Structure formats: C-alpha cells, structure tokens
Chains A and B, each alone.
Chain A
Amino acid sequence: MSVFPTLDISATGMSAQTIRLNTIASNMANADSISSNSAETYRSKQPIFKTIMDNETGLPEGGVEVDKIVESKAPLKMEYAPNNPMANKDGYIFRPNVNPVEEMANMLDASRSYETNIQVMNTSKQLLLRTIQMGK
C-alpha cells in the first residue's frame, strides 16, 4: 500500500468519474445520429463501477475503477420518415436510445462526485502538510 493511500483512492475516484463523463459526452454527442437499421444504431453507453480490492488484506481499500462499459437495453426509437434519405425500404429510420434528461442527471451526479473526490484530496493534503510540519 502507498504511503499516501487517501490521495491514490481519490485519484481513482476522479478517473472513474472522468470515464463516466466521457461516456455521457459520447451519448449526448450521438443523440441525433440516425441510422437505417437497428444493428448500426448508436446505443447509450453506461460505465459500471467496481471497487479495487486490496490483494493482501482482501479489504476494499484501493479505490474504484470502471469494470466495464455496457450498452443500454432500452428500445431504439423507430420513426416513420419516408422522405429521409436514410430511411429503410419500409420508410423507417432508427434513433439512438439516448435519454437526454437521464444523461444530464447523470452528468450532474458525476461532476458532484468528482468534486467530492477533489475535496477529500485537498483535506488529505492539508493534513499531510501539517504532519510534515509537526514539532516546528
């Protein structure tokens, strides 16, 4: 284990939240990317977090990481648009299953969590600096 475990733990939290923000950005950017068949349509991506376990003690002490990124199973939005050049032979286009409201709520949560990790890091830094100053 590191000499400054708290800093490492908060750093893992920040990087995990960054990945979460990245997937949200990707989802939002692709919210309007239409397609002519369901297989090629963009699907909302969601990261799944996992605690990093300490191999020596078996305790959850090492922070957090992104275990995997899964695609949302929500149904795609089928739209009847025969005039659209992307429409299939039945006149339908497919829109991604990205829910902008959900993504915005997730984004706020992710940025709050990111801030929390920064606060923890700052407090920890102050305590460490005071420890170094001990007896002076």
Chain B
Amino acid sequence: MESIFGIHEQALLIRKERESILANNLANADTPNFKARDIDWRKEIKNAQDQMDAKKFAPDLEMTNSRHIEAFGDMTTGDYLKYRVPTQPSLDGNTVEAHIEKAKFMENAIQYQASLEFINGKISGIRTALTGGG
C-alpha cells in the first residue's frame, strides 16, 4: 500500500539520516584524517521514489504463507554517502569545514520542517475529510 503521505514520508527519513551525518561531521571537526560526508540527495530521493513505485507490486519480504502480512525492508542510505570536496584541505587531512557543515545542517533542518509541514497539511486535510469539515 502506498503511504498517504507520498514522498514526504521518505523525505523525512532521508532528512533525519542526513541530520546525523552532518552532526557527525561537526563532531569530528578536530579528528585527524576525518573526511566529511554527505548524502547525494537527488539520487537518494530518486531511489526512494523507485522503491515506492516498486513496492506496489513487489514487497521486500517474501510471503510463504497466506496469513503473512505484507512488509517492506528499510531503505538504506549507505550507497549514497559521498565524500565532501573541501575548498581548503587542512594539514591533518581533516576535510570538515565548520561553516559549510553548519550551513548544510541548518538547510537540512529547515527542509526537515518543510517535510513535516507537508505531512501536517495532509493530516489536517484527511481530518477535514473525515469530520466533513465540522
């Protein structure tokens, strides 16, 4: 079954994942040889979309009994983790640039809230439909 929230549910998951990756970059700002990473958002969301399209016909978990419930495996972001290209590499091999990571973190937080707003809008829409606007 397709989620009533459409792509926004996937988007929220990816934003959440990206948040922890960017937080990790910032936490490792002083770690020698640490390479900053980020998610390839475009590929990631396309993958989520493809998965959603595919799920309608092919569930991830095999059903060997008629009483089994349809279920899907979690999506992973591992394949879409890319290394950041630093503008100024530092002597100790660390590629975290705090100002860039902070900007990305903020951007991601706002996008997360935008996704939440979309979902909230859907929920209130459904609620209005259920109560007949009363």
Contacts and interface: CB of A to CB of B under 8 A. Distances in A.
Interface of A: 5-6, 9-10, 12-13, 16-17, 20, 48-51, 57, 59-64, 109-110, 112-113, 116-117, 119-120, 123-124, 126-127, 130-131, 134-135
A109 B120 CA distance: 40
Q: Which of B31, B37, B109 has the most CB of A within 10 A?
A: B31
A22 to B, nearest CB: 15
Contacts, number: 89
A134 B116 contact: yes
Interface residues of B, dominant DSSP: helix
Interface of B: 12, 19-24, 26-32, 34, 37, 78, 81, 98, 102, 105-106, 109, 112-113, 116, 119-120, 123-124
A7 to B, nearest CB: 9
Given A61-B21, A64-B31, A134-B120, 12 more contacts: A9-B24, A49-B34, A57-B78, A60-B34, A61-B20, A113-B98, A116-B26, A120-B22, A120-B23, A127-B113, A130-B113, A135-B123
